[in-house]
Amino acid sequence: MPERFDAIVVGAGPAGNAAALTLAEAGVSVLLLERGEYPGSKNVQGAIMYADQLQALIPDFRDDAPLERHIVEQRIWMLDDSAHVGTHYRSDGFNEELPNRYTIIRAQFDKWFAKKVQAAGALLICETTVTELLKDGDRVVGVRTDRAGGDIHADVVILADGVNALVAQRSGLRDELKPDNVALAVKEMHFLPEEVIQQRFNIGENEGVVIEAAGTITDGMLGTGFIYTNRESLSVGIGCLVSDFAASKTRPYDLLERFKQHPSIRPLLAGSEVKEYAAHLIPEGGYRAVPKVFGDGWLMAGDAGQFVNSLHREGSNMAMTTGRIAAETVIDLKREGKPMNGRNLSLYRKRLEDSYVMKDLRKYRDLPQVLHRNKQFVTTYPKLLAGAADTWFRVDGVDKRSKERQIVRSFLKGRSLRGLVGDALRLARAVR
Amino acid sequence: MMINSVKVEEKLFQNRYVVDEGRPHISISEPLKASPALRTLVDICPAGCWSVQPDGQLSGTLDGCFECGTCRIVAKAVGQEIQWAYPRGGYGILYKFG
Ligand SMILES: Cc1cc2nc3c(=O)[nH]c(=O)nc-3n(C[C@H](O)[C@H](O)[C@H](O)COP(=O)(O)OP(=O)(O)OC[C@H]3O[C@@H](n4cnc5c(N)ncnc54)[C@H](O)[C@@H]3O)c2cc1C
Ligand code: SF4
């Protein structure tokens, strides 16, 4: 193996694969390092994959990518202890020729993606953990790995090592994560025959359903639960802020178990065989938590740079976009014969600002704090909504006007007029 | 509607790990007195790796570790340092699905 490359990419998740693919296709010599036995063996996702950004990298990905089901129906549920109120959006329009969202299984998807990267000419080496960056003064000049004689040099290093961003931390390029900027999610894979999934979720052969659930299932913590349909399994998970887990001393596996026992959820999982239990962090600090993502000889992409839109559950797409833009920046500088110093690489951050990535993160920049300070959105409201629905639908001889009054009174009692108006404004401001 | 705590060992049983014998990737160099803040690790570690010994010291058994980072972040936030690194390449949790 040569000891010098134009570029080294750390981590073969969506960010690293996107970066390495883009570089290799432009003829840049690139080494992709992954600590897992194979790409994906360390990675956890829901997982919904958004086609648009993958298509930008691999236009014909549908030919051979390991896709589970395309999404035709989205259910958003507010749960209290015994009920759920929800909205469903289902459309045959989602059965389009080139569907927009798919469920995937990351251990398989990342492996497939990395094969494309190799085919484009990048060198992939797995089972290799990068321990720190090699520096010449302040300039990053390569990486140190845990293999004997494991120092490798490059003009630029793209850090795509995921949410913990340990490589950058070790080298003083970023701070430790804060407990209120990061969520811990636990997840299980529940296997069921394909036909059972299709009957239970009222879907056809390749069609899929997404359920996002919030409410008392998180026990007052900020977070959500989910069920995604794969071909012959269901991904079932729940995640909350680490600071909330710590404050309430909640056991994540108890929380997951409780979610699975909820009367609205339990029948969907009945008879399934669990084949894996997983846990992973998700960056949720949004715009204000994005660290410095470029410097002399280095760029940072994906979860390492905190590029996640938690409200819309977008992370893998942002990882692919930031990985691709990081690579394009390197390619352009190289073409122009410019050195990979911080000043030139700052072009990366500028391009991100112009992309949907930073535009969306900026739009929701106040949301993490607003939700953090206003737990009633996950405690009081789900109960009020379920209570209102119960009052409204129960036919019990009470006239409808009285029922209306009863519902209004329950909201005023639960949250006061001032509280209700304030909450509406706060939420509107944070998401407008 | 709190249900009884489930046995995390039973969940971990499903998973695949390649254990790097004798080379734990997380360690505590100085014995750490399990302060109330650190005791939270016993509960919030998703793999149930941490326990408090009879002498009040925090102790970790990392066979089921997900390498998630939660313990490192929580300890750091209360001013305690856990030596936390990823396992050597190829070792540790090996997700079949993820
Ligand atoms: C439960 C859950 C559900 C989610 N659901 C969705 C969803 O439905 N849709 C969506 O778009 N996003 C979702 N996300 C977010 C999404 O998974 C991430 O945003 C995405 O994986 C980030 O990609 P990445 O390449 O930056 O990081 P990762 O996917 O974490 O990849 C980092 C890679 O680097 C490797 N690595 C780390 N350190 C080193 C090192 N020192 N040396 C060598 N290699 C190293 C790792 O092994 C890994 O392969 C979810 C996340 C979780 C946890
Ligand atoms: S890294 Fe995660 S799974 Fe491993 S010991 Fe720490 S909290 Fe537990």
Over the stretch A45-77, which tens digit does the pLDDT of each residue have? 999 999 999 999 999 999 999 999 999 999 999
CA-nearest residue to A33 within chain B is: B89
Report the DSSP pairing between strands B58-60 and B50-52: antiparallel
Confidence band (pLDDT; 50, 70, 90) for A2? low
- Are A107 and B46 inside 8 Å of each other by CB? no
A180-283: CATH topology:
D-Amino Acid Oxidase; Chain A, domain 2 (3.30.9)
Pick the residue whose CA is nearest to atom 6 on ligand 2: B71
A4-67+102-174+289-363: CATH topology:
FAD/NAD(P)-binding domain (3.50.50)
Query: Looking at chain B from residue 11 to 50, which residues have their Cβ under 8 Å from any Cβ of chain A?
Result: 11-12, 14-15, 18, 37, 40, 43-44, 46-48
Asked if the C-beta of A424 comes within 8 angstroms of chain B's C-beta atoms, the answer is no
Half-sphere CA count of A31, side-chain side, radius 13 A: 23
Q: Decide if the complex's ipTM is over 0.90.
A: yes
Where do the domains of chain B lie? 12-94
Closest CA to A46 of A222, A226, A207: A226
Pick the residue whose CA is nearest to atom 45 on ligand 1: A11
Least CB–CB distance from A242: residue in B2, B6, B73: B73
* pLDDT (0 to 100) of residue B3: 53
pLDDT in tens, B8-54: 999 999 999 999 988 889 988 777 777 888 899 999 999 999 999 88
* pLDDT (0 to 100) of residue B25: 92
Asked if the C-beta of A14 comes within 8 angstroms of chain B's C-beta atoms, the answer is no
- Are B88 and A280 inside 8 Å of each other by CB? no
Closest CA to B41 of B86, B72, B84, B81: B72
Report the DSSP pairing between strands A298-300 and A151-159: parallel
A194 alpha-carbon distance from chain centroid:
26
Mean pLDDT of B62-70: 96
Cβ of A124: how many Cβ atoms within 10 Å?
A: 21
* pLDDT (0 to 100) of residue A1: 65
Atom of ligand 2 nearest to the CA of B44: 7
Q: Report how far ligand 2's centroid is from the alpha carbon of A19 (Å).
A: 29
* pLDDT (0 to 100) of residue A134: 97
**Ligand nearest, relative to CA of residue B47:** 2
A272 has a pLDDT exceeding 90 = yes
- Are A45 and B98 inside 8 Å of each other by CB? yes
Task: Name the residue with higher pLDDT: B43 or A397.
Answer: B43
SS3 annotation, A26-82: CCCCEEEECCCCCCCCCCCCCCEEEHHHHHHHCCCHHHCCCEEEEEEEEEEEEECCC
Residues of chain A above pLDDT 90, percent: 81
Chain-wide mean pLDDT for chain B?
A: 89
Task: Give A224→chain B minimum CA distance, Å.
Answer: 16
* pLDDT (0 to 100) of residue B80: 86
A217 alpha-carbon distance from chain centroid:
20
Asked if the C-beta of A136 comes within 8 angstroms of chain B's C-beta atoms, the answer is no
Mean pLDDT of A269-277: 97
Pick the residue whose CA is nearest to atom 2 on ligand 2: B68
d(C-alpha A342, C-alpha A326), whole Å: 13
Residues of chain B above pLDDT 90, percent: 61
Q: Crossing angle of helices A316-335/A14-25, nearest 10°? A: 30
Cβ of A141: how many Cβ atoms within 10 Å?
A: 21
Sign of CA dihedral B66, B69, B74, B76: positive
Asked if the C-beta of B5 comes within 8 angstroms of chain A's C-beta atoms, the answer is yes
B1 has a pLDDT exceeding 50 = no
Largest CA distance in chain B: 42
d(C-alpha A194, C-alpha A199), whole Å: 9
Q: Report how far ligand 2's centroid is from the alpha carbon of A16 (Å).
A: 24
pLDDT in tens, A283-325: 999 999 999 999 999 999 999 999 999 888 899 999 999 999 9
Beta bridge partners of A184: A240, A281
Where do the domains of chain A lie? 4-67+102-174+289-363, 180-283, 368-430
Confidence band (pLDDT; 50, 70, 90) for A414? confident
